Structure 1
Amino acid sequence: LGFDAYTLELDGGYISTISGKKIAHTYDRKKKKIDEKGFQINPDDTLVFVRGSITTRYAWLDTVTQLERAGFCCINSRHCFEVCHDKYRTMLFLAEAGLRQPKTVLIAHKNESTKAFEELGSNYPVILKTVTGSHGVGVLFIESEKNLVATVQILYKLD
């Protein structure tokens, strides 16, 4: 299509400002060094596609914030990554958009699991999810109060 493209690896890459111009510098894994020349980017003609799981490092999220604040259109935005990374926030976001969600309560403290279950107003078995995780990781089938209390205590100990 005739568009210039530049892949900025966030692990080792960075954005600099030289003479008022934004330059993206990536880390070349094959050469094991930073591309010092970089690629000039401008909010008027640059679209930033943010790919991958950038939520594992705040510095990567902060790079997206830096670009957004400089006027760049980032797909996906930092807000999008933060909502999608957190199952509870995703549920709230979808509910606000009018999409039906299962009854959900947040267990805010390891000793509050029984109280949270009562607030849920449900019967066992229930599904317990960690706030993070994907592809079925952090999804637990809870069959009893004893199972709930023990599981929540373990999860809080590991957190």
Structure 2
Amino acid sequence: MAALAGCIAVPRSVEGVPSDAEWLVLPLRSWAAIEHGEPEAVAACLGPPCAERMKVSILRLRGDQARDARAVLADPSRLARGLSELARADDNPRRADVATRISAERFSADGLSGFVIALEGEGARTRSAFGGALAREEGADLRVAFVVGDSREGVEGALRQIAARAF
């Protein structure tokens, strides 16, 4: 029985997000190969009952990944510039006429620092996406909450809830 338990990463809910049926708690096994850190919890609310679509994850970063994340947390405009450069270099003709405005700024909640980023499509046929992160130092590790959603207000609200309950 113990050997079987080692084959699965049991899903854990993300503290600070609703625990109702609309929120899907995802098994960590599929996330275990993430090079950038150790996943602690992943949850998503994607279906019609959700006020807005949202994905939340908690990662523990170490070493170079923690160092790189600290640099982005200190200056989130680096992330916006990097994504803008990728968009400009994209030569896919299907996306050639899609204009996206990318902005990032610092964000804080309950003494934790992070950022909020907006990828806003310009034009009637485009969609926007918003994301954010908050981090807490834990020795040499960096514990980070990531949120991606349909609205800036929703992302910021989720980050505040996670900061108050999970961090």
Q: Shared topology, TM-score over 0.5?
A: no
Please report the TM-score for the alignment, with normalisation by the length of structure 2.
0.27
Structure in which a larger fraction of residues adopt strand: 2
Structure in which a larger fraction of residues adopt helix: 1
Please report the TM-score for the alignment, with normalisation by the length of structure 1.
0.28
